[in-house]
């Protein structure tokens, strides 16, 4: 049983759009290879605070990352810290805010795009800073890190769905077509990553409303998908709503490492706990 994990975060992908547009991911569900859940995001439903939620399992009032303008290093134990603490290797292909949370802040575009430093929480990183940086390039970056370094934990952060949601709103052909496009990217890369022995989770930070924005309390802002491809999870569609604070301890469970003391106890249906 593999403990290696790829965590794919699709920025701005709301739940109903994922359900209606992502044919490959639902093919995996129909064929008994994946599970799907609905996740209720934390508040505020903004990007930087929810990156911290996903990677540390802590709410904004506790971690202090309360807006997109909170530019400083995290004070919490992230999945990057925890993998290193447990002797595992990590890597990421991500938006630059991830670097600002866990490696160095502020981000310097001239020096910080490629970071290869075992002393940092993120050991291997390729970062981008333009929201329209193509998802096709991002996943090529991630695949390079996987092939070159074979990390135990790989975090991949895609931005194009969010970018098109802001440009065209959630109720637009542009937004729906971008969800189809990322599903095709996943269809081309996930089989290779499964063959390489990785478990895979796919989720989002927040959704998108019909004004082309997020940050509020509506289901459009907060409801996002969670797909899990792992022999530790029984395939199918689960109707229970999963709190977003469960994602970080889920990642720890799939990596077979102890979660931080700040994380919630894990209560995700369909998950088989690792034997100690």
Tokens 């927040």, located at residue: 206
Domains, the chain, in order of start with CATH, read: 5-255 (3.40.720.10)
Q: What is the pLDDT of residues 208-241, one digit of tens each?
A: 999 999 999 999 999 999 999 999 999 999 999 9
| Euclidean distance between CA atoms 226 and 207, whole angstroms | 12
Q: What is the pLDDT of residues 42-94, one digit of tens each?
A: 999 999 999 999 999 999 999 999 999 999 999 999 999 999 999 999 999 99
Q: Which helix (H) or strand (E) holds 187?
A: helix 173-195
Q: Structure tokens of 154?
A: 């790989």
Contact 187, 24 (CB under 8 A): yes
Q: What is the pLDDT of residues 235-245, one digit of tens each?
A: 999 999 999 99
Closest CA to 210 of 239, 173, 171, 243: 171
pTM: 0.98
- Would the pLDDT of 133 be above 70? yes
- Would the pLDDT of 248 be above 60? yes
Query: Mean per-residue pLDDT for 116-122?
Result: 97
Q: What is the Cβ-side half-sphere exposure of residue 113, based on CA atoms within 13 angstroms?
A: 8
Hey, is 8 helix, strand or coil? strand
- Would the pLDDT of 1 be above 70? no
DSSP-derived letter for residue 273 is P
- Would the pLDDT of 2 be above 90? no
**Is beta strand 153-158 parallel, antiparallel or unpaired with respect to 5-10?**
parallel
Q: What is the pLDDT of residues 161-210, one digit of tens each?
A: 999 999 999 999 999 999 999 999 999 999 999 999 999 999 999 999 99
pLDDT band at residue 23 under the 50/70/90 scheme = very high
- Would the pLDDT of 276 be above 70? no
Q: What is the separation of C-alpha 245 from the centre of its chain, rounded to a whole number of angstroms?
A: 13
Q: What is the Cβ-side half-sphere exposure of residue 45, based on CA atoms within 13 angstroms?
A: 25
Beta bridge partners of 125: 92, 115
Predicted local confidence at residue 275, as pLDDT: 61
| Euclidean distance between CA atoms 145 and 153, whole angstroms | 11
Q: Give the residue with greater pLDDT, 274 vs 18.
A: 18
| Euclidean distance between CA atoms 112 and 128, whole angstroms | 9
pLDDT band at residue 273 under the 50/70/90 scheme = confident
- Mean pLDDT computed over every residue of the chain: 97
Closest CA to 56 of 36, 78, 23, 83: 78
Q: Structure tokens of 234?
A: 């029984």
Query: Mean per-residue pLDDT for 111-125?
Result: 98
Q: What percent of the chain has pLDDT over 90?
A: 97
| Euclidean distance between CA atoms 194 and 134, whole angstroms | 23
């Amino acid at each position: 049983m593999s403990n290696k994990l790829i965590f794919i975060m699709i920025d701005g992908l709301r739940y109903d759009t994922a359900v209606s547009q992502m044919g490959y991911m639902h093919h995996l569900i129909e064929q008994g290879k994946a599970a799907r859940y609905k996740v209720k995001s934390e508040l505020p439903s903004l990007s930087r605070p929810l990156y911290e939620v996903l990677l540390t399992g802590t709410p904004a009032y506790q971690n202090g990352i309360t807006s997109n303008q909170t530019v400083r290093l995290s004070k919490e134990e992230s999945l990057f810290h925890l993998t290193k603490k447990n002797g595992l290797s990590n890597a990421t292909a991500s938006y630059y805010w991830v670097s600002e949370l866990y490696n160095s802040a502020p981000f310097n575009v001239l020096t910080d795009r490629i970071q290869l430093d075992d002393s940092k929480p993120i050991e291997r990183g390729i970062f981008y800073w333009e929201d329209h940086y193509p998802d096709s390039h991002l996943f090529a970056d991630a695949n390079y890190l996987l092939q070159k370094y074979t990390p135990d934990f790989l975090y991949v952060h895609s931005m194009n769905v969010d970018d098109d949601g802001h440009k065209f709103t959630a109720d637009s052909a542009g937004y729906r077509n971008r969800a189809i496009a990322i599903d095709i990217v996943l269809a081309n890369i996930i089989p290779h990553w499964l063959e390489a022995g990785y478990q895979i989770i796919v989720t989002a930070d927040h959704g998108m409303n019909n004004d082309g924005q997020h940050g509020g309390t509506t289901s459009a802002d907060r409801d996002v998908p969670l797909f899990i491809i792992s022999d530790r999870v029984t395939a199918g569609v689960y109707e229970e709503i999963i709190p977003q604070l469960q994602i970080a301890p889920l990642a720890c469970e799939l990596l077979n490492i102890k979660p931080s003391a700040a994380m919630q106890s894990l209560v995700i249906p369909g998950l088989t706990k690792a034997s100690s």
